[in-house]
Amino acid sequence: MWRVPRQLCVRVARGGKLSGPRHRPAAFMSTLLINQAQYAWLKELGLREENEGVYNGSWGGRGEVITTYCPANNEPIARVRQASVADYEETVKKAREAWKVWAEVPAPKRGEVVRQIGDALREKIQILGNLVSLEMGKILVEGVGEVQEYVDVCDYAVGLSRMIGGPILPSERPGHALIEQWNPVGLVGIITAFNFPVAVYGWNNAIAMICGNVCLWKGAPTTSLISVAVTKIIAKVLEDNKLPGAICSLTCGGADIGTAMAKDERVNLLSFTGSTQVGRQVALMVQERFGRSLLELGGNNAIIAFEDADLSLVVPSVLFAAVGTAGQRCTTARRLFLHESIHDEVVNRLKKAYAQIRVGNPWDSDVLYGPLHTKQAVSMFLAAVEDAKKEGGTVVYGGKVMDRPGNYVEPTVVTGLAHNASIAHTETFAPILYVFKFKNEEEVFAWNNEVKQGLSSSIFTKDLGRIFRWLGPKGSDCGIVNVNIPTSGAEIGGAFGGEKHTGGGRESGSDAWKQYMRRSTC
C-alpha cells in the first residue's frame, strides 16, 4: 500500500469530513495498525485510534486530523488531532503562567523532577523504542538507543542542576565584588525533526528544565504519535509532583504552528532542528523580533582516510556513518575522501561490506538497515542519483529502489565525481556516499571545508602531527571534529552542533546550558 500524501490528509481534514470519530469510515479505522493484535502494545503508551495532539496541563486539540504511517510498509498507524492557532495561544498563556511556579523551584529540586522523568522513560524504553522504529523507520537498536539518549541527558542534567552559575569577580571599587548571575530565559520553544523524534527534544528539554525554563514542543507531523507518547510520560511525572503540566507543553502541528512560535515574542528562545532552508526562514523571523534562536541544521559530513589509516577501522566506520538510520542523520557521512594509494582497495572492501547489510522490518532485532521515512525521501534519493550520474559520477553500488513494500532504497556508493560537484555539495537525506581521491593533506583539508555546512568530520590516520593540525585553526571547520571514529554517534557530555550553514547552535553537554539562560552582571 502506498502512503497517502500528508497534503491529502490535511485537505480532507480541513474539509470537515474527519471532524469526529463518527465520520471515520469503519473500514478505514479497522486498517489502522493500532487496531491490529500485533500492535496492541501501542495502547500501553496511552495511544488510541485518534489522539489529541495538544497538551498544556490538559489534553485537547481543535486543528486538522492527520494520519501517521509506518515507513516499512506505508500502512496507517493511528491519527492525531493537531493544534489550531487558538490552541497555540491558549498553550502559550498556560506555559507562561506555569513558568512563574517552576522558576521558583530551587534548581536541585528541578533536577530531581528531571531525574524522575528519566526514570519514567527508562521504564518504557523498550516499548517507546518500538514506537520510534514503527513511526520513524529506524532500526530497533537505534530506536531504543534514542530513548536512552534522553535518559542519559536527564542523568547529566541532574548533576548540572547543582552546578549552573557564574563566577564572583574582582571589582575595581574598594569593598565591592562583581557577581555574574544566570537566570532562566523563560519559555523555550522546541521544534524537532523526524529523524530524532525523541533524543533532540530530550537534549533541549532536560537542560532547559533544570535551568528554570518551561518548554513548548512541536515535533514533526510525521512522528506525532511519538510526541504524544513522550509527553504523556512527562505529564505523569509533573502530575505526581503536583506541578503544572504546562511546564512541558505540546502543540503538534505544521508550518502554521512553527511560524507562530518563530514570530512570538513570548517565546524567549526557539530551538529549531531541521533543514538549512527552513532554518534560515526561522532564523530571520526570530531575528526580526530580536529573539534568540538555537539552530541545528544540515550537515554534509566528510570522512578522510590517509595512506597510513587502519583500513580495518575505516571500512566499518564508513559503513556505520553512511548507512546508519538509512542515511537520515544530520551527522551521516556523505563524502569520503581516500588517499589515491588506498582508494581502489577501500572501495572494493566497502562494496563487499554493503552487500552483507541485513535489510528488513526495522523492529526486527537482527536487521541493520531500514526504510527512508517518506515516499518523498525516496524521490529525492532517485533524483540525487541521477544528478550524480549527470555530473560524471559512477554508481558502483546500489542506486535503486528496492522491490519490496515500504520506502526502501539501496545504500549507494558513487565514485568519479569532482570534489566540487554541485550534488556533492548538496545534502541529500539518503544513504548516498560520494567517494573522492586526494593527493595530500592541504588539498583534502580544504575540500573538507569547502561545503557550506560545518557539522561533523573525521580523519583516519596514525600521524600525531596531522591529528593536531586537523584539530587546529587550519584543520576542520566543523563543530564535531573526530579522529579514527565515524562522523556520527555524538556523546551527550559534549556540546553538539555545527558551524556555518549548520546554524552555530549547541545542545546537550559542556556549557550548552548557557544558551537556555540570560546573564546579568551585578
Q: Which pLDDT tens digit goes with each residue over 163-209?
A: 999 999 999 999 999 999 999 999 999 999 999 999 999 999 999 99
Tens digits of residue pLDDT in 201-246: 999 999 999 999 999 999 999 999 999 999 999 999 999 999 999 9
Is pLDDT at 329 greater than 50 in this prediction?
yes
* Separation of alpha carbons 469 and 464, rounded Å: 9
Residue 365: predicted pLDDT = 85
Query: Does 296 qualify as catalytic in the annotation?
Result: yes
CA–CA distances in Å: residue 208 to residues 102, 103, 114, 227, 503: 11, 11, 10, 18, 19
Q: Which domains does the chain have, with CATH numbers?
A: 6-80 (no CATH), 96-169+187-298+502-521 (3.40.605.10), 301-491 (3.40.309.10)
* Separation of alpha carbons 144 and 166, rounded Å: 36
Residue 29: predicted pLDDT = 65
Residue 24: predicted pLDDT = 53
CB burial class (10 A; 0-12, 13-18, 19+) of residue 143? buried
Reported pTM: 0.94
* Rounded-to-10 torsion of CA 313, 319, 322, 325: -120
Set of cell numbers at residue 354: 554493503
Is pLDDT at 12 greater than 90 in this prediction?
no
Nearest to 221 by CA among 249, 247, 258: 258
DSSP labels for 410-478? --EEEES--TT-GGGGS--SSSEEEEEEE--HHHHHHHHHTSSEESEEEEE-S-HHHHHHHHSTTS--S
List residues bridging with 294 in a β-sheet: 271
Set of cell numbers at residue 4: 497517502
* Separation of alpha carbons 151 and 204, rounded Å: 12
Is pLDDT at 5 greater than 90 in this prediction?
no
- With beta carbons less than 8 A apart as the criterion, state whether 219 and 186 touch: no
Mean pLDDT, all residues of the chain = 95
Is pLDDT at 25 greater than 70 in this prediction?
no
* Separation of alpha carbons 330 and 453, rounded Å: 11
Q: Average pLDDT for residues 147-163, to the nearest whole number?
A: 98
Residue 28: predicted pLDDT = 56
* Separation of alpha carbons 456 and 362, rounded Å: 26
Catalytic residue among 142, 296, 410, 427: 296
Nearest to 455 by CA among 435, 482, 483: 482
Set of cell numbers at residue 403: 522491490
**What number of other Cβ atoms are within 10 A of residue 265's Cβ?**
9
Percent of the chain with pLDDT over 70: 94
Q: pLDDT-derived band of residue 10, with 50, 70 and 90 as boundaries?
A: very low
Q: pLDDT-derived band of residue 22, with 50, 70 and 90 as boundaries?
A: very low
DSSP 8-state secondary structure symbol assigned to residue 3: P
Beta-strand relationship, 75-81 and 65-70: antiparallel
Residue 489: predicted pLDDT = 84
| Bigger pLDDT: 14 vs 28 | 28
Q: pLDDT-derived band of residue 26, with 50, 70 and 90 as boundaries?
A: low
Is pLDDT at 20 greater than 80 in this prediction?
no
